[in-house]
Structure 1
Amino acid sequence: MFRFFESRIDPFRSHDDSMPPATLLGFYRRYCLQIWPYLLVLMAIGLIVSLIEIAMLRYIGSIVDLLKSTSPSEILADYGPTFLWMGFVIVIARPLAALAHDLVNQQTIAPNFTNLIRWQTHHYVMRQSITFFANDFAGRIASKIVQTGPALRESVVQVIDALWFVTIFAGSALVIFWSADWRLAMPLLLWIIAYVATLAWFVPRIRDRSTIMSEMRSQLTGRIVDSYTNVQTVKLFAHPEREDDYAKEALVEHTAAFKNETRLITAMNATVSSLNGLLVMATGTLAVWLWTFDAITLGAIAVAAGLAIRITNMSGWIMWVAVGIFEQMGTVQEGLETIARPYDLLDKPAAPPLVAKEGEIRFENVRFHYGKAGGIIEDLSCTINPGEKVGLVGRSGAGKSTLVNLLLRFYDVEAGRVLIDGQNVSDVSQDSLRQQIGLVTQDTSLLHRSVRDNILYGRPDASEAEVIAAARQAHADGFIEGLSDPRGRRGLDAHVGERGVKLSGGQRQRIAIARVLLKDAPILILDEATSALDSEVEAAIQESFARLMENKTVIAIAHRLSTIAAMDRLIVLDQGHIVETGSHEELLHRNGLYASLWHRQSGGFLDLHAN
């Protein structure tokens, strides 16, 4: 039975992968429409449950009147079927209706709808640009994805549950009271007006403060996760107290926002409690007074008192439901402000895949400034021939990594074109572009998964033998065999920790090199690829690099010029311009910027004989 209800909604169904609506109503609409039949069923069951609750209170009044007007010896003979029907409703129908409500809510909607929202929002956000993630905390973004799903689901379910209880109870109570005597309905009518006014005043204010607190909570999470992610840096500089202060600042703001919200909640609770006391007292007093004039029966008094008490008890639930609904809506609103953002970089409609047969790279009159006033790349043009091995040289900030980022289309050029085999990288699909380029960077980041998974990232369909061969070519097989993690996994199965923190810098880069070896893309970029390796290990993998670079177009960036001196050609950049190009020997002979950089490195940075 549970599996039947649990399998009604597929969280991973095909869906509209365009940007989620940026309006609250539109955001709710997109996800609720995907499961609308089950929300409708939940609404119908809620109606039945509410009617049963009202019927039970009506039975109490009927029983009182029957006992008053019928002798004990005749009660079962005359009203036996009535009592059997009441028993059926109370003992069988009510539990079945409650079970049906829980099965639809807890088994069908709660897990599946929640994770449907999480999956679809994660699917969209995962395709955002590098800039999107660079401008925010990873922990904060993840918090929005995780919180938005349950907040949206819970607010929708609470609205459905509260809708019928409010409508049925309040409406039925007014009808019952009015049918007994119109004067008996007056306290309830006045109470409803005052109750609605109270919620109308308090709830929007609580919602606004809840939205602020949700933002403070996300900020707090982001700061704590940032500290944990960079714990090695924290330890290295001995700054745990600095991180305490960083988190404490966010925690102080969160506490202040929390207090502002709870003050309103306490004031609202006190107001509603006072209104409830007045309702019970006024209804009971008026009912007894009307009975003294034979205007109503004892059964009507029992129903009126029971309904008044039930309504006051329910009012507290409705109050918290209303607060919860608006709090959840505030969380959703705050979440969609992060989730529902347009992509910075979009593929053109029906963008074809890149076909890189030769591997020629051309930069034509490229201009790019990272949105700043000052120039980074200014009218740069150059061609890297198929199979050519080129080294990019220049001081920090000269534009070397920027050219790589433009080639990978992490950013769009402001002017000019970047071409691979004559195809503009802006015209082809981004995934196909990056599939044709292998990259080993200076700041190697590994996934918190097994060594095998990290190497397989280069080519997920590779065999175990190919993974082992790539690790061997990268000279990583030696240390991989000795790896283990706290769960007892060893070798290729061992997990490397967040961003590969359990490995040394050299070990991380050798895993990254193995990953690129396995990918075997026609274009290879080495961005300080051996910067974390000692000289012995670097020399050991030079043979692997030589094999890796065979029949490939290679761009290599290295501040350590000795590692790229043997490239076919060197391109020297300065302030976004190409100032020199040629072989190592040619550039030394020209005695220009490259020669200056080379002599500075080979001669050392410090003049020990200076006064």
Structure 2
Amino acid sequence: MSGKVSPLRRLLRYADADRPQVYWASFCSVVNKLFDIAPEILIGVAIDVVVRQEESFLASLGIVDPVHQIMLLGVLTFLIWAGESLFEYFHLVAWRNLAQRLQHRLRIDAYDHLQKQDHSYLEQHNTGHFVAILNDDVNQLERFLDGGANAMLQVLTAVIGVGTVFFIINPTIAMLAFLPIPVIIYGAFWFQKRAEPRYNKVREKVSLLSSRLSNNLSGVTTIKSFTAEAREKSRLEQESTDYVTANREAIAVSSAFIPVIRMAILTGFLLTFCVGGYMSLQGDLEVGAYGLLVFLTQRLLWPLTQLASTIDLYERAMASTRRILDVLSVKSQLSNGGHKLPAKSVKGAISIDSVSFAYQSSRPVINQLSLDIQPGTTVAFVGATGAGKSTITKLLLRFYDPSSGAVKLDGVSLTDWDTQSLRDTIGLVSQDVFLFHGTVRENIAFGEPNASLEAVEKAAKLAEAHEFINELPNGYDSIVGERGQKLSGGQRQRLSIARALLKDPRVLILDEATSAVDNETEAAIQRSLTQIREGRTLIMIAHRLSTIVDADQIVVLDKGRIVQQGTHSELVAENGIYRQLWDVQTGGVA
């Protein structure tokens, strides 16, 4: 449906709450333009006073003395200029405030909507794509509302206002003066139709360029370590060149509009100038009226030269609007069960009942998997890369729903629980630790922003992080840098564990939390596991088998199926996949 509705109409629907502001801004633009064309009318009346004096148009209204007529025109000129200035201020403030408010709401709504989308949708696009929409596309719409909307309204007002005066004074000249208008309007639509796909292409190229910049700046360390600066510069240069090329194609179309309009304007002006002059010489048109028509013709037609740039701005804005509103129109495929989890009474019993799952257009990653996890126990999942370990994490957090079967918490399917309360009940420590730019305390308290310092310190101690935090320059108030770049990998991982523990979740998932840390950090995490596992269900996705030897149950996965299950000692005693993995990592020492 959204593809059939114009972006402007979709925007007006979105901005329904702002209609009073739109009406006020539009009213101010119209009144400002009416005041703007009024001085030309006064000039024509003044010429009429000078030429005809006691027989002028004003004299027919009862003001016979030419001096009084000029004084009246002076007063009217002052009032008109004051009114124009006043409504110039009003429409500038109204449109700019509307632009600011609308771009703010669009950005926040689109960002909030993205946060709530399924992982499947987010993983189909890169970060730069969304950054381009939330930043560049929103700003493009703001630029149009700042000036383009007012320009279009004022052109329309000028055509109607001046046209009315023309037809009142002399319908014949009015017809001649307005002769180019259909050509200009047809040309505007003709160029708009050809510019639209080109500007859509421009927005797509901006998205790709933003993605490249975002990706490269995030991976600058890797680029430097592989001395790939020149290659990455070349790739970025290609993306930028594609953007410039797309822009050049759009500009070539919009720029061609200006010469066409200028020639059409010249035709209308010459017709008024010559025919009106001839009629004035013949006595069929008063000199003042002739002067008025010449001035108004210029006032009517000349602003149309700006129509090309206005349409250019409009097309860019509508291409951006379409992308923004397309994001807002995306519907989540995961329904919200709506039942709030009673957090304090959650036991942490997990049941995976005949679950199968496949990502889009791929073979099943989980295949008819069934498993019961008792509350308060520690269960570890191991297996080769691609066995389905991390997919289980995504299913437990309900980033995805199973293709078939059901995942249950305390006997109730996850699809029946409120998604937010479900995730509040589960803590996650991922292999890919993400820390936000801010202090150590802010990062630990990310899930509980109102937590006291004592609670933060307690979580840090459980995660074996308190000691190194106190050694930082400002302790818990030390800035970690973007993505925690001022900390080591092990320090970031321990902060991530502390952040999860502060939530005090009934279910805690460690998704390969020790796979990329040093031996000292692994030992620290091992020491804290004894305390961490108390009173909660602990699920560990393990790469290093040394971290799971004390698990109550170890589940070995292969191609999405359970091939072994038992304690460490039981599995080492078997001649299976687990024993092979253990031998590789330890040299066969049980």
TM-score, normalization: structure 1?
Answer: 0.89
| 1:44 alignment counterpart | 27
Between the aligned partners of 1:408 and 1:352, the Cα distance in structure 2 is: 15
Selected match of 2:102 from 94, 108, 113: 113
Between the aligned partners of 2:532 and 2:447, the Cα distance in structure 1 is: 14
Between the aligned partners of 1:23 and 1:480, the Cα distance in structure 2 is: 55
Amino acid at match of 1:599: D
Structure 1 residue 582 corresponds to structure 2 residue 566:
yes
Between the aligned partners of 1:450 and 1:413, the Cα distance in structure 2 is: 38
Amino acid at match of 2:53: T
Cα distance per residue 1:383-415 (max 9 Å; x no partner) = 111111111121111111111211111110011
Q: How much has 1:208 moved relative to structure 2?
A: 2.1
Structure 1 residue 246 corresponds to structure 2 residue 229:
no
Selected match of 2:93 from 92, 95, 103: 103
Selected match of 1:592 from 556, 570, 576: 576
| 2:349 alignment counterpart | 360
Q: How much has 1:169 moved relative to structure 2?
A: 1.8
| 1:525 alignment counterpart | 509
Between the aligned partners of 2:436 and 2:357, the Cα distance in structure 1 is: 31
1:326-405 aligned within 5 A: 326-348=315-337, 350-353=338-341, 355=343, 357-405=346-394
| 2:61 alignment counterpart | none
| 2:446 alignment counterpart | 457
Between the aligned partners of 1:346 and 1:396, the Cα distance in structure 2 is: 30
Selected match of 1:508 from 489, 492, 503: 492
| 2:278 alignment counterpart | 289
Between the aligned partners of 1:23 and 1:550, the Cα distance in structure 2 is: 58
Decide whether aligned partners of structure 1 residues 167 and 138 sit closer, same or farther in structure 2, where only a CA change above 3 A counts: same
| 2:126 alignment counterpart | 137
Decide whether aligned partners of structure 1 residues 193 and 55 sit closer, same or farther in structure 2, where only a CA change above 3 A counts: same
Amino acid at match of 2:14: Y
Q: How much has 1:382 moved relative to structure 2?
A: 0.9
| 2:215 alignment counterpart | 226
Asked if 2 retains the 8 angstrom alpha-carbon contact of 1:354 and 1:429, the reply is: no
Q: How much has 1:168 moved relative to structure 2?
A: 3.0
1:489-508 aligned within 5 A: 490-508=474-492
Selected match of 1:542 from 506, 512, 526: 526
Q: How much has 1:22 moved relative to structure 2?
A: 8.1
Q: Secondary structure at the match of 2:407?
A: strand
Amino acid at match of 1:48: V
Decide whether aligned partners of structure 1 residues 80 and 549 sit closer, same or farther in structure 2, where only a CA change above 3 A counts: same
| 1:84 alignment counterpart | 75
Decide whether aligned partners of structure 1 residues 256 and 291 sit closer, same or farther in structure 2, where only a CA change above 3 A counts: same
1:153-302 aligned within 5 A: 155=144, 161-162=150-151, 164-302=153-291
Q: How much has 1:304 moved relative to structure 2?
A: 1.7
Decide whether aligned partners of structure 1 residues 76 and 215 sit closer, same or farther in structure 2, where only a CA change above 3 A counts: same
Decide whether aligned partners of structure 1 residues 169 and 20 sit closer, same or farther in structure 2, where only a CA change above 3 A counts: closer
| 1:8 alignment counterpart | none
Q: How much has 1:293 moved relative to structure 2?
A: 0.3
Structure 1 residue 28 corresponds to structure 2 residue 11:
yes
Q: How much has 1:248 moved relative to structure 2?
A: 2.5
| 1:572 alignment counterpart | 556
Between the aligned partners of 2:281 and 2:212, the Cα distance in structure 1 is: 68
Q: How much has 1:162 moved relative to structure 2?
A: 4.0
Q: How much has 1:23 moved relative to structure 2?
A: 6.3
Selected match of 1:429 from 411, 418, 443: 418
Number of residues of Structure 1 aligned to a counterpart in Structure 2:
579
Asked if 1 retains the 8 angstrom alpha-carbon contact of 2:196 and 2:315, the reply is: yes
Decide whether aligned partners of structure 1 residues 167 and 377 sit closer, same or farther in structure 2, where only a CA change above 3 A counts: closer
Q: Secondary structure at the match of 2:178?
A: helix
Q: Percent identity?
A: 31
Between the aligned partners of 1:372 and 1:117, the Cα distance in structure 2 is: 33
| 2:298 alignment counterpart | 309
Cα distance per residue 1:531-579 (max 9 Å; x no partner) = 3332223323433221111111111122211110111121111111111
Structure 1 residue 551 corresponds to structure 2 residue 539:
no
Q: Secondary structure at the match of 2:320?
A: helix
Between the aligned partners of 1:75 and 1:491, the Cα distance in structure 2 is: 86
Between the aligned partners of 1:569 and 1:166, the Cα distance in structure 2 is: 76
Q: How much has 1:506 moved relative to structure 2?
A: 0.9
Between the aligned partners of 1:22 and 1:245, the Cα distance in structure 2 is: 40
Between the aligned partners of 1:248 and 1:483, the Cα distance in structure 2 is: 41
1:45-84 aligned within 5 A: 45-70=28-53, 74-77=65-68, 80-84=71-75
Q: How much has 1:312 moved relative to structure 2?
A: 3.2
- Point out where structure 2 has 5 or more consecutive residues left out of the alignment: 55-63
Cα distance per residue 1:577-599 (max 9 Å; x no partner) = 11111111111222222112211
More deviation in 47-56 or 217-226? 47-56
Asked if 1 retains the 8 angstrom alpha-carbon contact of 2:430 and 2:511, the reply is: yes
Decide whether aligned partners of structure 1 residues 403 and 175 sit closer, same or farther in structure 2, where only a CA change above 3 A counts: closer
- Point out where structure 1 has 5 or more consecutive residues left out of the alignment: 1-18, 485-489, 606-611
Asked if 1 retains the 8 angstrom alpha-carbon contact of 2:95 and 2:145, the reply is: no
Q: How much has 1:292 moved relative to structure 2?
A: 0.8
More deviation in 316-325 or 75-84? 75-84
Asked if 1 retains the 8 angstrom alpha-carbon contact of 2:457 and 2:466, the reply is: yes
Q: Secondary structure at the match of 2:584?
A: helix
Amino acid at match of 1:503: L
Between the aligned partners of 1:82 and 1:439, the Cα distance in structure 2 is: 78
Decide whether aligned partners of structure 1 residues 522 and 186 sit closer, same or farther in structure 2, where only a CA change above 3 A counts: same
Amino acid at match of 1:222: S
Cα RMSD, aligned residues only: 2.6
Decide whether aligned partners of structure 1 residues 436 and 137 sit closer, same or farther in structure 2, where only a CA change above 3 A counts: same
Cα distance per residue 1:344-371 (max 9 Å; x no partner) = 32313x3433655211111111111223
Asked if 1 retains the 8 angstrom alpha-carbon contact of 2:507 and 2:536, the reply is: yes
Q: Secondary structure at the match of 1:172?
A: helix
Amino acid at match of 1:85: L
More deviation in 207-216 or 475-484? 475-484
Cα distance per residue 1:178-236 (max 9 Å; x no partner) = 33333322332211122112212112212221111111111111111111112222223
1:8-23 aligned within 5 A: none
Q: Secondary structure at the match of 1:70?
A: helix
Between the aligned partners of 1:47 and 1:204, the Cα distance in structure 2 is: 27
Between the aligned partners of 2:153 and 2:361, the Cα distance in structure 1 is: 57
| 1:11 alignment counterpart | none
Q: How much has 1:150 moved relative to structure 2?
A: 4.1
Between the aligned partners of 2:160 and 2:568, the Cα distance in structure 1 is: 89
Asked if 2 retains the 8 angstrom alpha-carbon contact of 1:446 and 1:500, the reply is: yes
Q: Which runs of 4+ in 1 moved over 6 A?
A: 19-23
Cα distance per residue 1:518-541 (max 9 Å; x no partner) = 111011111222233322233234
Between the aligned partners of 1:271 and 1:500, the Cα distance in structure 2 is: 57
